[in-house]
Structure 1
Amino acid sequence: MNYEFTIIVPVYNEEDNLERVEKEFKKYFEIAAKPAKVLFVNDGSKDKSQELIEAICQRSNHFTYISFVENRGLSAAIKAGFDHVDTPLLGYIDSDLQTTPEDFNELLKHIEHYDLVTGVRANRKDSFVKNMSSTIANGIRRTFTHDGMDDTGCPLKVIKSDYAKRIPMFNGLHRFLPAMILLQEGKIVQIPVRHFPRIAGTAKFGFWNRLIGPLQDCFAYLWMKKKYINYSIAKKG
């Protein structure tokens, strides 16, 4: 079928969640606002995630995958997804399903007029420490980037693929996707989405790497902003 929307699902040791991911996406495909498929990016999982991913892909052509030789981190997984997408629109969601694929339809309502639509987790179902560290980290990022986004860490986004493919990624840049679209003079907007408790698997980020990592990455972003090359073609001959 003629897919218009590829949803990138990074996976690192999520064997307890993948069957639920398959079930939720099969439900979503029935109501998707645009013909959609899933691209799993296995970030060097050491559990049975790859075995489960391959079984899911064998059961349905709506699922595809790429698998890393070794663990390279979330930013690398997202970058690999950007590189391999072949549809005009792409999305991103975490495999822990603390957000739901159904809310992609809410984001897709706005993508015609924007180049990135990101979710804002309403009524977050995380611990006090996790919520507080994320609030502080988002405040730090806003101070550096002036992107106006309240929740850049929300794992539910829709981006026009040509913008995503022009993002020069580095480790930690998954936290700066709205700011990187602004560097391309693109338009961004945030839309409230639902949030759910993690019911299986373990979180991959702790208190300190939610705070220290983003602060370090802010300085890398400022360097990139100063050096970033952006141009538009006026004529070709």
Structure 2
Amino acid sequence: MTASDTPDISVVVPVHDEAGAAGPLAREIAAAFMGRSYEMIFVDDASRDTTLAELRALMAELPALRVLSHATNAGQSRAVRTGVLAARGAIVVTLDGDGQNPPAEAPKLADALMAAPPNVALVGGRRAKRQDTAAKRWASRWANGIRKRLLKDDADDTGCGLKAFRRDVFLRLPYFDHVHRYLPALTIREGYENRYLDVDHRHRETGRSKYTNWGRLRASLSDLMGVMWLKSRARRPGAVTEF
């Protein structure tokens, strides 16, 4: 694929201090999307290790690879948004940079979205056999249950990094830190529908998680209140007619 091509799919991967994981993940993505019209965009969120150098070294080997770098650490949601803004594909697929989302699952989410009617904006992954600690799984179930009850967003697992969504719809959504966890609720707010598919999940092989259960809890409380406010202030115009 050359730089002048317009791919059908843009795979966006936010990474921060993922030396040893980012390179193999990029090769897996290339294998998963071989023969398809795609690009992959790794957004390095000011890593302090060799993540950026490892990715840049792969660019000659993987023509579909684009590497963007933040000068300052800005968090996962901002890294995803940076990638989506740079994306050339109408369909964006996201994966976590730690390698726990199997890239082989990504094409089926993209295919499901491309086959769906225009009113479906997002196809989310749902980790069928989550490979995390018991404490993390329990905290996730608890948080997902509360969020789903309050926001009525129909998502069982918003923490799954594997998602496919329409780029134009994403860019209409309000941006805030941690917005990646609230995409289902916000797409519904805009009048769209979501669908979900079971996906595999793997153990982390390198590095360590950037999140703790208490850290997520502190952020989620304020985020939930904010998204509830956004939903309460939404007014949709129905069909829009141009004359």
Q: Distance in 1 between matches of 2:33 and 2:82?
A: 23
Give 1:175 deviation, angstroms.
0.7
**Contact 1:75–1:174 at 8 Å: present in 2 too?**
yes
Q: Distance in 1 between matches of 2:62 and 2:129?
A: 34
Give the equivalent residue in structure 1 for 2:57: 55
Q: TM-score, normalised by structure 2?
A: 0.91
Residue 173 of structure 2 is aligned to residue 171 of structure 1: no
Residue 4 of structure 2 is aligned to residue 10 of structure 1: no
Spell out, residue by residue over 1:58-91, the C-alpha distance to the aligned partner (whole angstroms, 9 max, x if none). 3222000211111011111111122111211001
Q: Distance in 2 between matches of 1:25 and 1:110?
A: 18
Give 1:141 deviation, angstroms.
1.1
User: Which of 166, 173, 195 is the equivalent residue of 2:201?
Assistant: 195
Q: Distance in 2 between matches of 1:62 and 1:162?
A: 22
With 155-164 and 77-86 compared, the bigger mean Cα shift is at: 77-86
Unmatched tracts of structure 2, length 5 or more: none
User: Which of 144, 164, 177 is the equivalent residue of 1:158?
Assistant: 164
Give 1:45 deviation, angstroms.
0.8
Q: Distance in 2 between matches of 1:212 and 1:138?
A: 15
Q: TM-score, normalised by structure 1?
A: 0.93
Number of residue equivalences: 234
With 83-92 and 107-116 compared, the bigger mean Cα shift is at: 107-116
Q: Distance in 2 between matches of 1:15 and 1:144?
A: 38
Residue 207 of structure 2 is aligned to residue 205 of structure 1: no
Give the equivalent residue in structure 1 for 2:127: 121
Paired AA for residue 106 in structure 2: F
Q: Distance in 2 between matches of 1:45 and 1:230?
A: 40
User: Which of 27, 30, 45 is the equivalent residue of 1:26?
Assistant: 30
Spell out the pairing of 1:204-223 with structure 2 (5 A cutoff). 204-223=210-229
Q: Distance in 2 between matches of 1:116 and 1:91?
A: 10
Give 1:167 deviation, angstroms.
1.4
Unmatched tracts of structure 1, length 5 or more: none
Moved over 4 A (4+): 228-232
Residue 100 of structure 2 is aligned to residue 98 of structure 1: yes
Q: Distance in 1 between matches of 2:161 and 2:57?
A: 25
Spell out, residue by residue over 1:91-139, the C-alpha distance to the aligned partner (whole angstroms, 9 max, x if none). 1001111111111122123213221000000111110011011111111
Instruction: Give % identity.
Output: 29
**Contact 1:125–1:195 at 8 Å: present in 2 too?**
yes
**Contact 1:6–1:89 at 8 Å: present in 2 too?**
yes
Paired AA for residue 201 in structure 1: G
Give 1:23 deviation, angstroms.
2.3
Give 1:230 deviation, angstroms.
5.0
RMSD: 1.6
